[in-house]
Amino acid sequence: GAVVSQHPSWVICKSGTSVKIECRSLDFQATTMFWYRQFPKQSLMLMATSNEGSKATYEQGVEKDKFLINHASLTLSTLTVTSAHPEDSSFYICSAREYMNTEAFFGQGTRLTVV
């Protein structure tokens, strides 16, 4: 299957700082990318959908000013967690889908710990 790479795999940051997570599609052009969050022992929760060159669409209850998503190219999307707090500690996962293909491929995830 296609490869989606996330960076970093894990990050620890202090409260009040911002953290950027990158998601890259390595062997295909991703017209649509998705960002999920997963808390321990829970399922994945969709945060937002982004299409290349346009603003992200956020799910209900997700603060767009706190979770900044940029999808500036067909191979790269970034999620920035601004003014991070301990409750933002979670496993963040991106997914990418190529136009006209139906399956989405997932990155390996980024474990964020805010201290």
Return residues touching another protein (CB under 8 A). 1, 4, 6, 32, 34, 36, 43-46, 49, 91, 93, 95, 97, 99-100, 102-109, 111
Closer of 83 and 101 to another protein (Cβ): 101
Task: Please identify which residue in the block is written with the tokens 């649509």.
Answer: 32
Cβ 100 to another protein shortest distance, Å:
8
DSSP structural state of residue 89: -
Report which residue type is found at 27. Answer: D
C-alpha–C-alpha distance, residues 33 and 17, integer Å: 25
Report which residue type is found at 10. Answer: W
Cβ 59 to another protein shortest distance, Å:
9
Report which residue type is found at 106. Answer: F
Task: Please identify which residue in the block is written with the tokens 């299409």.
Answer: 51
Closer of 17 and 42 to another protein (Cβ): 42
Closer of 6 and 78 to another protein (Cβ): 6
Cβ 46 to another protein shortest distance, Å:
6
Cβ 69 to another protein shortest distance, Å:
14
Q: What is 28-54 written as a DSSP string?
A: S-EEEEEEEEE-TTS--EEEEEEETTS
